[in-house]
Amino acid sequence: MYIGGGNTFSLLHDIRMSGFDLVLKEYIKNGLVYGGSVGAIIFGKDIRTASYMDVNNVNMQDYRGMNFTRDYSIWCHYQEKHDELIEIHVKKTSSPVIALPEEGGVYMSNNKLQTLGDSPIYVFKKDWLKVIKTKII
């Protein structure tokens, strides 16, 4: 199954309102799901990582994603210029972030994350008062 782009807030709102979130949670136990861009962000813990690119046009108040990523939020279309925004998000939410560039991604199977693609993936985590950026390959 492929879940693509659009507006993060609208997509998750529509998925919840239709009840498709329950179907997807059941399907992912045995099926393969690919999230591209917004489709990846909604699989994370907190979708406010999309606030830099999307407007909350549905007045969403519940920013919890589907959390298929072991409590990591997802930042798509990552570039180094986003580091400060990601650090602010991590400090605000205390949720670690996986930053995915255009040429990279992650694959999750049996509760383990593996990196994919030609570009490095970065993880941002809060460590006391500062945020640590780690390159994972």
Every domain of the chain and the residues it spans: 2-136
pLDDT of residue 31: 85
Strands 104-109 and 73-75: unpaired
CA angle centred on 120, ends 117 and 122, rounded to 5°: 125
The beta-carbon contacts of 54-59 under 8 Å, at least 24 apart in sequence, are 54/7, 54/8, 54/9, 55/7, 55/9, 56/9, 57/7, 57/9, 57/10, 58/9, 58/10, 58/13
pLDDT digits (tens, 9 = 90+) for 122-136: 999 998 778 888 888
**How far is the C-alpha of 32 from the C-alpha of 30, rounded, in Å?**
7
CATH number of 2-136: 3.40.50.880
| 8 Å CB contact between 74 and 98 | yes
Helix (H) / strand (E) element for 18: namely: helix 8-18
Tell me if residue 12 falls in helix, strand or coil.
Answer: helix
Mean pLDDT for all residues in the chain: 91
Phi, psi values for residue 17, rounded to 5°:
-65, -30
Alpha helices in 19-113 (DSSP H): 20-27, 38-41, 83-93
pLDDT digits (tens, 9 = 90+) for 5-46: 899 999 999 999 999 999 999 998 888 888 989 999 999 999
Q: What percent of the chain has pLDDT over 90?
A: 63
